[in-house]
């Protein structure tokens, strides 16, 4: 088993997505020195993606202008369920054939240094905890709002994994028993009510009622052109229909946030992902719902904030996996 390079000066964090792979050289004090990017080639099989990961790491090191010999290790955020200690992806739905596959070993052997991985949301949460919106706090919950809703908990400074690394699939807690059908087969999952598809459906349904809105013109009245970003843009420009869609979405997000505050009592609740970029209109509406629903553990005990590192959270978090491995021996 390869070990991290204790005499090194930087780690490379890698965010493995279904479309693209991004990597960055990160120093111990949280500076990003260089980046790399490649398509993930997710439909071409495991070996193709592993080659892209190696190319991304090499490109990031080259762009940073640092010696390869000073690489401490490589940390990756990867979608899906894992046996991360063994470097095995148990299942990742965005990648062809990724069921019980060894991801880490070829990458580690290529660079001659240890490599680590965690679920992508857990990895992003570690980036935010060390270098972003969670810095200085010991109890942190993070969710990402996108096509689905992923979650992570850092409890008393430790990342919680669960017995099978399935903690925390918060997107699949039921918030509306008779709600929309979720991809998992349940009705009314949190992500079925507050994820990307639900937001688009909500906007399309509102447009079909005939209420005036610039949203229809912006999307050429084409369902496929409506996105959460377009809805947020129209809402921030004062469009009443788009604002209504955003506020209803925020209500569903707020219900889930309030539930998790009751369960985990975090100091900071971080919301990331593409949908979270809607800004203050979204966050103020989320806060109103949380203020109303979080009673036993009051809303005022938790600060609800947007992710600070944006798309770089997974890169910083990947580097943190390396730093933690060195620190913990």
pLDDT of residue 210: 83
Instruction: Indicate whether 124 and 35 sit together in one domain.
Output: yes
32 by DSSP, 3-state: which? strand
**How many other CB atoms are found less than 10 A from the CB of residue 277?**
16
Instruction: Indicate whether 187 and 92 sit together in one domain.
Output: no
Does 161 reside within a domain? yes
Instruction: Indicate whether 291 and 204 sit together in one domain.
Output: yes
Q: State phi, psi for 202 to the nearest 5 degrees.
A: -60, -45
Q: Check which CATH number belongs to the domain holding 43 and give it.
A: 3.30.420.40
Does 320 reside within a domain? yes
> Between the CA of residue 180 and those of 30, 49, 146, 262, 274, what are the distances in Å?
41, 34, 16, 24, 21
Instruction: Indicate whether 148 and 107 sit together in one domain.
Output: no
Would strands 32-39 and 268-272 be described as parallel, antiparallel, or unpaired? unpaired
Instruction: Indicate whether 100 and 233 sit together in one domain.
Output: no
Report the candidate in 183, 152, 184, 181 with the shortest Cα–Cα distance to residue 166: 152
pLDDT of residue 111: 96
Instruction: Indicate whether 163 and 100 sit together in one domain.
Output: no
Instruction: Indicate whether 153 and 268 sit together in one domain.
Output: yes
pLDDT of residue 166: 79
pLDDT of residue 168: 78
pLDDT of residue 110: 96
Does 3 reside within a domain? no
Instruction: Indicate whether 163 and 225 sit together in one domain.
Output: yes
Does 1 reside within a domain? no
Instruction: Indicate whether 108 and 152 sit together in one domain.
Output: no
Instruction: Indicate whether 91 and 145 sit together in one domain.
Output: no
- Divide the 329 residues of the chain into consecutive groups of 10 and give the mean pLDDT of each group: 90 94 96 96 94 98 96 96 93 88 96 96 96 97 92 95 83 95 93 94 90 87 87 92 95 97 97 89 96 94 95 96 89
When divided into structural domains, the chain yields a total of 2
Whole domain around residue 87: which residue ranges? Answer: 10-129+312-327
Q: State phi, psi for 39 to the nearest 5 degrees.
A: -65, 145
Instruction: Indicate whether 67 and 183 sit together in one domain.
Output: no
Alpha carbon distance, N-terminus to C-terminus of the chain: 14
Does 4 reside within a domain? no
């Amino acid at each position: 088993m390869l070990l991290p390079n204790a005499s090194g000066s930087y780690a490379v964090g890698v965010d493995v997505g279904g479309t693209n792979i991004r990597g960055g050289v990160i120093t111990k004090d949280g500076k990003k020195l260089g980046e790399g990017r490649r398509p993930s080639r997710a439909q071409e099989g495991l070996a193709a993606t592993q080659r892209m990961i190696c190319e991304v790491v090499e490109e990031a090191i080259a762009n940073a202008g640092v010696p390869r010999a000073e690489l401490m290790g490589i940390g990756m955020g990867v979608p899906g369920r894992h046996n991360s200690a063994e470097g095995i992806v148990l299942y990742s739905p965005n990648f062809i054939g990724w069921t019980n596959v060894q991801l880490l070993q070829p990458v580690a052997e290529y660079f001659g240094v240890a490599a680590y991985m965690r679920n992508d949301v857990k990895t992003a949460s570690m980036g935010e905890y060390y270098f972003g919106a969670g810095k200085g706090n010991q109890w942190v919950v993070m969710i990402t709002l996108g096509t689905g809703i992923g979650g992570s908990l850092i409890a008393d400074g430790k990342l919680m994994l669960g017995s099978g690394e399935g903690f925390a699939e918060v997107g699949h807690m039921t918030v509306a028993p008779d709600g929309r059908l979720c991809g998992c087969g349940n009705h009314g999952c949190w992500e079925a009510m507050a994820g990307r598809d639900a937001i688009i459906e909500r906007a399309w349904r509102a447009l079909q009622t005939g209420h005036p809105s610039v949203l229809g013109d912006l999307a050429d009245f084409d369902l496929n052109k409506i996105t959460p970003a377009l809805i947020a843009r129209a809402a921030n420009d004062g469009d009443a229909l788009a604002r209504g869609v955003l506020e209803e979405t925020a209500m569903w997000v707020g219900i889930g946030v309030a539930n998790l505050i009751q369960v985990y009592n975090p100091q900071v609740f971080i919301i990331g992902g593409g949908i979270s970029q809607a800004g203050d209109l979204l966050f103020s509406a989320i806060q109103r719902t949380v203020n109303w629903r979080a009673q036993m553990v009051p809303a005022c005990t938790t600060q609800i904030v947007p992710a600070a590192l944006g798309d770089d959270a997974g890169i910083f978090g990947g580097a943190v996996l390396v730093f933690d491995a060195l620190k913990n021996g």
